[in-house]
Structure 1
Amino acid sequence: MPNLIDAIKSRKFVVFGRAGMDMFADPIGTKSEVAETFRADLGGSSANICAGLVKLGCEAALVTSVSDDAVGRFAQNRLTHYGVDTQYLRVLGGEYRLSLAVYESCIDDFQNVIYRNGAVDFQVTNEDVDRVNYDAFGALITAGTVFAAEPSRSSTFRAFENARAANMPVIFDIDYRPYSWPSPEVAAEVLSRAGEASDLIVGNDEEFGFMAGGIEKGLDKARELAASGKLVIYKMGQDGAITLSGDQEIRTGIFPVTAVKPNGAGDSFMAGLLAGIADDLPLRDAVLRGSACASIVVSQPGCAPAMPTSVELEAFLAAHAGPTHP
């Protein structure tokens, strides 16, 4: 198996999955159904991870398809704005459309309306993944939604094979979104297959439980994956996280903040975790960096624009005495 930690320390990542447009009601606290003003920015799990990584001093290239229209060009422009490498984006015409999320900065009765009919990011092909220069990167990252439909499901598994051939580890954010999948049964089978093929797996208790056939079985599933040689991060929301590496289990807390929305936390956690490992921090501290990034993002509007820079992350950590005790 390729050395996961050394690969992450290269700070160079190729990321598979979707870019989208986020529209969020303005100002904070405004419900979408009565809003007169919305702000727009980059969205989509994989695009958010890319933006978060770049803000923390890493390099990230996104492999996806975007629509040949104004919204697709908006996403391309925002990716460029955040410093994400877009050389592997394919612009696709016809009726395929970029994903759109409409939400609010409001925790009570939070609403996030997703438009994914004819989603263009599902159209990534074997040809798209084969033209990536895998030798230019240290590690491959993907979020689970990419596996929800063809041809991107098969092409991303092909990318896993290409990564293996290049001695590159695979990092997998389970990121289960039921609305994207044809059935829970298909999702459980495919996401489990992706987990088995990965070296680092990040997910919450519900996602591991889903893969295992019941939330009460989720931690056992995470332990099973760790016992097979994988690094596993088992997130539990307000209860923190358990990091499983071999027979070692590290429990960490969270950084309490006043949240204005729940979304974007997982993407920011992934970016902070990887940047922390790249900075040669102990694994516990790297996980806490991820937790701090998640707290920062849920306390601000938007996802990509809320991802912290290294300076902002250090300022946040300096202003907080420490995480909760798990």
Structure 2
Amino acid sequence: MVDVVACGELLIDFTPVQQKEKPGSIAFEQNPGGAPANVLAALSRFGKRTSFIGAVGNDVFGRFLQQTLIRLNIGTKGLVLTEEAHTTLAFVHLDETGDRSFHFYRNPGADIMLREQDVNEALIAQAAIFHFGTLSLTHEPARSATWRAVEYAKQHQRLLSFDPNIRASLWEDLEEAKALALKGMAKADIVKLSEEELAFLVGSEDVVEATAWMLGQYDLQAVFVTLGEKGCFYRTRNNFGTVGGFQVTAIDTTGAGDAFVGALLYQLLEVGESMLDIPQATLEDMVRFANAAGALTTTRSGAIPAMPTLSEVKSFMEAAR
């Protein structure tokens, strides 16, 4: 049995590292990344059983990523090493606050070479939760493969978690990005998105109004809007509110949202109830834990390497109290 299966991109993040011996010169550190894989890494650090569906190149980077998953106890039965393209690379650029932007080398990249016949449906069938995003929807054949995985999860009544994770530079048409993200939302049970993504997809910066529209439009159980250091706004069928964040000195925000998702899904698995049945106080505790995981991740470099353990999150929350 598997707790969570994710489908999507697994790639190399080249993260900038200042070189003290060469002022003004920047070196790039190779780190494993990709939003769905980051979510699984967080869950695995918390002791949950996870498995990944996606494609990497049959090259030195792809084999490094394969070994990274194995080392983290993330199942690799759904991982394809393709000869059709090199492993996708993303160069991460950080501003003075640690906030990041990306420059992708993906023309094409191995992550978009996942085919429908590559989707390991047996993995999805034995999972409690299926997680996906939009980076695997930008191009074929990965787009059709992702939708096949989503439909299979839906048919088998798995809980569907969705993070739009819009990267504008990867889309030839932002209206298509919006349409496909809204389609993903229509398939999902739980959606996590940022303030910017909410404004882009719904057309409103008012989180109360926009999330109310989302739950009115789609058959969602819950929406979570991450607000950076301000915390997270949540809305379910029964309640809504904001849970404050944690003050940290951020050095790299890469993967913070994925740590949030992983921590939230971990809490949901631990509670063992439908999101619709969880009392508001318990839900706010879950969001607080997820906020802590996300904040702690920003104090470290990289995405997967920065994912905290369960004891680290608990200690961090205790110290913050």
TM-score after normalising by structure 1: 0.87
Structure 2 counterparts to residues 257-296 of structure 1, below 5 A: 257-280=248-271, 282-296=282-296
Q: How far apart are the structure 1 equivalents of 2:99 and 2:123?
A: 44
Q: Does 1:297 align with 2:297?
A: yes
Contact persistence 2:18–2:25 (CA under 8 A): no
Which AA in structure 1 matches 2:244? Answer: G
Kindly provide the amino acid, as one letter, of the partner of residue 151 in structure 1: P
Matched residue count: 310
The 2-side partners of 1:109 and 1:313 are apart by 21
Question: What's the offset of the Cα at 1:247?
Answer: 3.9
- Residues 171-320 of structure 1 aligned to structure 2 (within 5 Å): 171-212=161-202, 214-216=203-205, 219-227=208-216, 228-280=219-271, 282-320=282-320
Q: What is the identity, as a one-letter code, of the residue corresponding to 2:234?
A: T
- Structure 1 residue 23: deviation in Å? 2.4
Q: Deviations over 1:90-149 (max 9, x none)?
A: 111033432333445853685643322211111211112254432211010012212122
1:67 deviation in Å? 0.2
Rounded to whole Å, the distance in 2 between the matches of 1:31 and 1:145 is 36
CA shift in 2, pair 1:95/1:110, >3 Å:
closer
User: 2:92–2:100: 8 Å Cα contact kept in structure 1?
Assistant: no
Q: 1 CA distance for matches of 2:245 and 2:10? A: 28
Moved more, 112-121 or 64-73: 112-121
Question: Could you tell me which residue of structure 2 aligns to residue 3 of structure 1?
Answer: none
Q: How does 1:1-326 map to 2 (within 5 A)?
A: 12-26=3-17, 34-35=25-26, 37-103=27-93, 107=97, 112-129=102-119, 131-212=121-202, 214-216=203-205, 219-227=208-216, 228-280=219-271, 282-321=282-321
Partner of 1:7: none
- State the secondary structure of the residue aligned to 2:166: coil
Identity %: 25
Distance change >3 Å, CA 319–CA 11, structure 1 → 2: farther
Unaligned runs of 5+ in 2: 272-277
Deviation at 1:182, TM superposition (A): 1.5
Aligned residue number for residue 274 of structure 2: none
Residue identity opposite 2:6 in structure 1: V
Q: Distance in 2 between matches of 1:287 and 1:133?
A: 28
Give the Cα separation in 2 of the matches to 1:32 and 1:54. Answer: 38
Structure 1 segments of 4 or more deviating over 6 A? 28-33
The one-letter code matched in structure 1 to 2:223 is V
Q: Distance in 1 between matches of 2:69 and 2:301?
A: 18
Greater Cα shift, 179-188 or 236-245 = 236-245
Q: Is the 8 A contact 2:293 2:308 kept in 1?
A: yes
Deviations 1:278-322 (A, max 9, x none): 22282111111111011111111111111001111111111111x
Query: More displaced, 252-261 or 139-148?
Result: 139-148
| Aligned CA distance change for structure 1 residues 32 and 94 (closer, same or farther; 3 Å) | farther
**Residues 259/65 of structure 1: CA separation in 2 closer, same or farther (3 Å cut):** same
Assess, with a 3 A threshold, how the Cα gap between structure 1 residues 150 and 42 changes in structure 2: closer, same or farther: same
Q: Distance in 2 between matches of 1:100 and 1:254?
A: 28
CA distance in 2, matches of 1:180, 1:23: 17
Following superposition, the deviation at residue 272 of structure 1 comes to 1.0
CA contact (8 A) 1:277 1:283 kept: no
Distance in structure 2 (CA, Å) of the matches to 1:148 and 1:167: 26
State the Cα RMSD in Å. Answer: 2.5
C-alpha distance in 2, partners of 1:105/1:49? Answer: 24
